[in-house]
Amino acid sequence: MRNQRKLIAASLYIQGRGAIALLGENARKLGKRAYVIGGRTAISVTEERIRASLDASGIEVVAIDSEVKDCTYATIERLVEKGRRVEPDFVIGVGGGRAVDTAKAVAWKLAVPAVSVGTQCATNADGSAEFVVYTEDHKFLDAVILPDNPAIVIVDTDVIAAAPVKYLIWGMGDALTAKFEGESHAEAMRKKGGSVPTNTALALANATFESLMRNGLEAVEALKHGTHSDAVDEVIEAVKLSSAIAFENTGCALAHALHNGLTQTGTMKAEHGEIVAYGTIVQAAYEGRPDDQVRAIIDWCDSVGLPTKLSAVCDHDRDALVRAIEYACSKDANAESMPEKPDPIRVMEIMDRIESGF
């Protein structure tokens, strides 16, 4: 179809303090038999509240599995087998990205809807129609696109705020890039004649960035002091809702390509969101955005505790770094979302300039 405009998202998103209490009454339309899947910590923190909410709405927990560590094909198969025996009406994934991704995969294979209950803020996978599969030794294997988004996303901010603050910082690092990668993706698609993202998705990417700049530091400070301020709620929405819809309806570009290049060519000492935050600084500078804007991103990252230098994310020597940049510019599919094929020599120059204090 020519001039197509398309946007996908979860059908229902509910965020708030004590939001798990609303799980049952909203899930009732999906059926009466729930299969709950998650990691041990996430389930132990939420099980009582989940059971109480489902029970109050006459929904039975037909099985619960709290052994999800990683989203691997073996784990998915084991849980699908269990699911076939108990025949649930829907699957509830409880936890971080690995748990909700596993639950989405299991629900899809059982041909029932998925529900996500996020318990920390490092991921925005809760509402996406995709799951990422890893090998047993936690190497990226596959990203599988699903026909449907989860039916319900529950974000209980009491639970998220009680998780270690590092998760929120990592989530902000990954969400930070939505504006930059989304905008370059849009420009690339316009130029190459591909499917251009909606203005709606781009507006959400920009809203994510502005919310993080405005509320990020205050939210981190609040959580470090054990308080739950409005800024915390703003950042949770920016990561879990705005950035999620923006990401899924635009595309990744140089920031994620660089992440993938670096993780392929050496050992990392930083998490996904931290590496992506650094990659965002590189992409913003590479695109020739005004120095003031790049410096504002660097200062903000410094203030919230995200890395702003390569030396903070990995110990690659020069050869490994050259290979990482080559991979990012030529082999990684995300490079297609740059308006021009990225030039490895310029990327290296930009990274050197950032390293010596932009």
Residue nearest to Zn ion (CB): 174
Q: Which is nearer to Zn ion, 280 or 308 (CB)?
A: 280
Q: Residue 274, interface with Zn ion (CB under 5 A)?
A: no
Q: Shortest approach of Zn ion to residue 271 CB, angstroms?
A: 10
* Catalytic residue (one of 156, 272, 316, 332): 272
Q: How far is CA 110 from CA 33, 54, 191, 212, in A?
A: 13, 20, 41, 38
- The nearest distance, CB 174 to Zn ion, in angstroms, is 4
Tell the smallest beta-carbon distance from residue 252 to Zn ion (Å): 7
Active site residue 259: yes
Nearer to Zn ion, 174 or 183 (CB): 174
Instruction: Between 93 and 173, name the residue whose CB sits nearer to Zn ion.
Output: 173
Q: Which of 174, 185, 316, 332 is catalytic?
A: 174
User: What's the rounded Cα separation, in Å, for the pair 222 and 232?
Assistant: 7
Name the residue nearer to Zn ion (CB basis): 83 or 171: 171
312-350 burial code (b ≥16 CB/10 A, e <16): ebbebeeebbebbbbbbbeebebbbbbbeebebeebbeb
Q: Which is nearer to Zn ion, 126 or 174 (CB)?
A: 174
Closest distance to Zn ion from the beta carbon of 264 (Å): 15
271 lines the binding site for Zn ion (CB under 5 A) = no
Site string for Zn ion, 158-197 (x = CB under 5 A): ----------------x-----------------------
Interface with Zn ion, residue 126, by CB under 5 A: no
Is residue 256 part of the annotated active site? The answer reads yes
Q: What is the spatial distance between Cα 16 and Cα 26, in angstroms, rounded to a whole number?
A: 14
Q: How many CA atoms lie within 13 A of 342 on its CB side?
A: 36
Q: In terms of CB distance, is 113 or 182 closer to Zn ion?
A: 182
Min dist. Cβ of residue 344 to Zn ion (A): 22
Would you say 10 and 127 are in contact if contact means Cβ atoms under 8 Å apart? yes
Annotated catalytic residue, options 101, 256, 316, 332: 256
Give yes or no: 272 in active site. Answer: yes
> How far, in Å, CA of 120 to CA of 216, rounded?
16
Beta carbon of residue 273, minimum distance to Zn ion (angstroms, whole number): 7
- Of 65, 156, 259, 332, which residue is the catalytic one? 259
- Residue the block writes with tokens 């990417």: 205
Q: Where are the beta strands (DSSP E) in the chain?
A: 12-16, 33-38, 60-65, 90-95, 114-118, 130-134, 140-145, 152-156
Q: How many CB atoms lie within 10 A of CB 217?
A: 17
Task: Report the largest interatomic distance among the alpha carbons of the chain, rounded to a whole angstrom.
Answer: 62
Question: Any catalytic annotation for residue 316?
Answer: no
Q: Where are the beta strands (DSSP E) in 39-167?
A: 60-65, 90-95, 114-118, 130-134, 140-145, 152-156
List residues binding Zn ion (CB under 5 A).
Answer: 174
The catalytic residue positions are 174, 256, 259, 272
